[in-house]
Amino acid sequence: MARTVVIEEHGGPEVMKLVDRPVGEPGPGEIRIRHEAIGLNYIDTYFRSGLYPGELPLALGMEAAGEVEAVGDGVTHLRVGDRAAYAARPPGAYCGARVMPAAQVCPLPDGISFEQGAAVMLQGLTVEYLFHRIVPIQAGDRVLFHAAAGGVGLIACQWAKSEGIELIGTAGTQAKCELAGEAGAAHVINYREEDFVARVRELTDGRGVDVVMDGVGKDTFERSLDCLRPVGMMISFGNASGPVPPVNLLDLSNRGSLQVTRPTLFTFASDHATCQEMAKHLFDKMLAGDIQVTVGQRFALEDVAEAHRALEGRETTGSTVLTL
């Protein structure tokens, strides 16, 4: 048996329940993993609220780290006793232990703690695909990144700095702006005090940025288009403020033949070899010191509702982990 957070209906943080559920044995292509730490991410709130569909009752959570307890037939990249971490479907990471598909579970190097592994997988792999798997981005390019002091944002600031990319971040408080700047953002805009479009245009001598990376959604999408250079790329990868309204393709044409994409991590990581390659790239950055994982908050598993409220209230900085 393992303590597991489930929902039986969609709604606010109060719909989450902590129950004991049987774990079982892994079948072909599966493993059983005993968690040491669990990651909290915005996508978890989407499944909880019903923005992302899921069959009820539904166990929540996409990311965790721990030790492999059992291995099913056909699994060759993991063995019993291995340290491992993952960001993967199906949901169900908010638990003490689980049986799950092995393909997207990745060996965790000894130099990275369980807590760091749980805090970095979904956010770090997201940054990996944003910078390397959508549109070519190279040293000297300019990127606008919203919510630069969040978990994904702080990793993105460091990643950009390590590769000579000029990242312009936005954040909602002076303290968060300072965090993003310390992490490696070349410029940080307090969007509550400055017009971020005007400031981006000023910083780029009127040209605009090459790429916008926007995990905020509804509140920032429209004005972010005005920050792009002609034929620039808008990467809308999240909905923290709500889903983006329908986009008029002619509007993209009129703004300078802009490009727009709405990717998800799991499209890129669904292939086993690609997922393992992405994780190795991330872990190599961490072991080299290019990426420092900032765990800003820790909540006990039984306090998961409080953790969701803090996340949705934009009260968090860096990554958040659930402890067992």
Domain that holds residue 36: 2-123+266-323
Q: Average pLDDT of the chain?
A: 96
Does 94 share its domain with 160? Answer: no
CA atoms of 52 and 195, how far apart (whole Å) = 32
Rounded (10°) CA dihedral 190, 217, 312, 186: -30
Task: Judge if 151 and 235 occupy the same domain.
Answer: yes
> What is the number of other CB atoms lying within 10 angstroms of the CB of residue 25?
10
- What is the tally of structural domains in the chain? 2
Has residue 292 got a pLDDT over 90?
yes
Which CATH number do you get for residue 146? 3.40.50.720
List the strands of the sheet with 58-59, edge to edge: 16-21, 2-7, 58-59
Residue 128 inside a domain? The answer is: no
Residue 17: how many other CB atoms lie within 10 Å = 13
Tell me the pLDDT band of 42, cut-offs 50, 70 and 90: confident
154 near 179, Cβ under 8 Å?
yes
Do 35 and 65 sit in the same domain of this protein? yes
* 209 and 254 within one domain: yes
Tens of pLDDT, residue by residue over 206-247, are 999 999 999 999 999 999 999 999 999 999 999 888 889 999
Quote the tokens at residue 200.
Answer: 């981006």
Domain limit, last residue, from 228, 262, 296? 262
Q: What is the CATH number of the domain that holds 82?
A: 3.90.180.10
pLDDT digits (tens, 9 = 90+) for 188-206: 999 999 999 999 999 999 9
Do 151 and 240 lie in one domain? The reply is yes
CA gap 150, 85 in Å, rounded = 21
**Sheet strands (E) in the chain:** 2-7, 16-21, 30-40, 58-59, 63-71, 83-87, 97-101, 105-107, 142-145, 166-171, 187-190, 209-214, 228-236, 259-261, 295-300, 319-323
Any domain includes 72: yes
Same domain, 142 and 220: yes
pLDDT confidence of residue 240: 84
pLDDT in tens, 126-177: 999 999 999 999 999 999 999 999 889 999 999 999 999 999 999 999 999 9
| Whether the model pTM is above 0.75 | yes
Is the CB of residue 300 less than 8 Å from the CB of residue 322? yes
**42 and 66 belong to one structural domain:** yes
Instruction: State whether 89 and 177 are in the same domain.
Output: no
Q: Within this chain, do residues 62 and 79 fall inside the same structural domain, yes or no?
A: yes
